[in-house]
Amino acid sequence: MTFPIPQQMRRTFPAPSLTVFVALQVLDILTTLLGLQLGAREASLFVERLMHAGPVAALLLAKILAVALVAIALKLRRPRVVVFLNYWFAAVVTWNLGAILYSGFRG
């Protein structure tokens, strides 16, 4: 059984932004490559296993999968997936920046 939520109690959900998504993908690639150069390790097991093919190839493959996921979400009219991924990749870029700072202070 579901209960209707009154209009004044509903929270607005942010609109999905493909511009933010693309910018975060570029920032993720750049910060990951910089972190790897400074001695940081890849935290994602999936991407780390792909690193055997080379860091750029691994990151590009991971980004192709991310773009495919967004395309599927938009085709299925699930814009919240794009918003979720934007938050997720913002956290990933923040993590990468922290790893860069840590590697800089350590080395």
- 74 part of a folded domain: yes
pLDDT at 10: 65
How many separate domains does the chain show? 1
Report residue 21 as tokens: 């998504």
Burial of 32 (0-12, 13-18, 19+ CB in 10 A): buried
Let me know the angle formed at the C-alpha of 60 by 21 and 36, rounded to the nearest 5 degrees: 95
**How many of the other CB atoms lie within 10 Å of CB of 13?**
9
Spatial neighbors of 18 by CB under 8 A, at least 6 apart, are 70, 82
Range of the domain at 79: 18-106
pLDDT at 98: 94
- Percent of the chain at pLDDT > 90 equals 62
- 68 part of a folded domain: yes
pLDDT at 9: 64
- 3 part of a folded domain: no
Question: pTM for this one?
Answer: 0.82
- 2 part of a folded domain: no
Greatest CA separation for the chain: 58
The residue behind tokens 């940081």 is: 40
Decide if pLDDT at 2 tops 90. Answer: no
